[in-house]
Amino acid sequence: GQFYNINVKDTDAMDVEITSIIKITFHDESHRKVASNYWKFWMSQQKHGQARAIDIANYFDSISFQWNGKAGASISIRFNCLSTDFSRIKGVKGIPLRLHMESRLTNDSPPASSESSFCRIKLFRDKGAERKNKDDARHIEKQLEKLRGKNGESHPLWLAFSQTQPYTIFCEIPS
């Protein structure tokens, strides 16, 4: 897998130790409900018994680390799974994953509060990501062609879009 750099920072810059847990989960709720089935399928496809979705610690699908709120932190993380690994069908788009992070004060026992955030991710092989970007660009171009209309007639929504120009065109507004 490819390494990704994650930077964390406390916007209040408090000089305290913070514990953060980063976990990879499935983005869609329907996939999260049957996550154990997806992970079992993924494990059955792996060549070694010590397979981990995240390559940094002994946990299977998460990591935990401490950092100082004033200093911030930067960690490199490598995912050992792809979005397409959870499907038996070849050529599928893959299942969207979610990177979830929860942070709390380390010495806060019991934890009074925690902060959670997440983002949707799709993990591809290098060439797969390039192909996906090209496919997305083709799809957008087709949508724009539909807006342009056949034989040059304009679609009402096309008025919301304009070609970029190296200069600004000012027009008088009729009164």
CB of 32 closer than 8 Å to CB of 97: no
Q: Which of 164 and 26 is assigned the larger pLDDT? A: 26
Confidence at residue 55, expressed as pLDDT on a 0 to 100 scale: 47
Confidence at residue 31, expressed as pLDDT on a 0 to 100 scale: 77
Confidence at residue 129, expressed as pLDDT on a 0 to 100 scale: 62
Domains of the chain, by residue range, sit at 3-124, 131-158
Q: Which of 122 and 39 is assigned the larger pLDDT? A: 122
Identify which of 74, 49, 59 has the alpha carbon closest to the alpha carbon of residue 23. Answer: 59
- Considering the entire predicted model, what is its pTM? 0.56
The per-residue pLDDT of the chain, averaged, comes to 74
Kindly provide the residue ranges of all beta strands, DSSP E only, lying in the chain, ordered along the sequence. Answer: 3-8, 17-26, 62-68, 73-78, 97-105, 115-121
Give the whole-angstrom CA distance, residue 120 versus residue 170: 41
Q: Which of 8 and 58 is assigned the larger pLDDT? A: 8
